[in-house]
Amino acid sequence: MKSEPTSQYMFLVRGGSCSSGHSPEEMQAHMKEVYNWIDDLTKKGIFSAAQPLTQEGKIVSGPGLVSDGIAAESKEAVGGFFILNVASMDEAVRIAESSPMFGNGGRLEVRRIAALTACD
């Protein structure tokens, strides 16, 4: 049986907070859920990478056009990412729905990573 070709999908973690009114014990339990979820994805062979991002950032719009990044408190701020190797957007969304990231008010934006091609 031939397996479906896979693509990479990025889950951008938006909103939520490590300090959103939860006790240290609650945050520790939440992080354990996240690590268990990643471990499960790894065992399935679909996990590629994940990292949190710092709150500090800059937006560069061109030479000399630099401004502060989106405030970390904003619902639009990106707090981290996951990269998975799956067959379709539907599968990526299904996996995102199983994420424990919603426990602290977070949201996941699911995006397919496109192949890098030269502009013609």
Give the mean pLDDT of the chain.
87
Do the Cβ atoms of 47 and 41 come closer than 8 Å?
yes
Q: What is the CATH number of the domain that holds 43?
A: 3.30.70.1060
Residue 119 lies in a domain: no
Q: How many domains does the chain have?
A: 1
Cα gap 26→18, rounded to integer Å: 10
Query: Mind listing the pLDDT tens digit for each residue in 75-95?
Result: 678 889 999 999 999 999 999
Do the Cβ atoms of 88 and 19 come closer than 8 Å?
no
Residue 106: pLDDT band with limits 50, 70, 90: confident
- Which candidate, 67, 70, 66, 36, places its Cα nearest to that of 53? 70
Residue 110 lies in a domain: yes
Predicted confidence at residue 73, as pLDDT, reads 60
Query: Mind listing the pLDDT tens digit for each residue in 36-74?
Result: 999 999 999 999 999 999 888 888 999 999 998 776 566
Predicted confidence at residue 1, as pLDDT, reads 46
Predicted confidence at residue 45, as pLDDT, reads 97
Q: How crowded is residue 52: how many other Cβ atoms within 10 Å of its Cβ?
A: 11
Residue 109 lies in a domain: yes
β-sheet bridge partners, residue 51: 81
Predicted confidence at residue 2, as pLDDT, reads 47
Cα gap 111→22, rounded to integer Å: 29
Residue 104: pLDDT band with limits 50, 70, 90: confident
Q: Which domain range does residue 66 map to?
A: 5-114
Scan for tokens 């590629």, then name that residue: 48
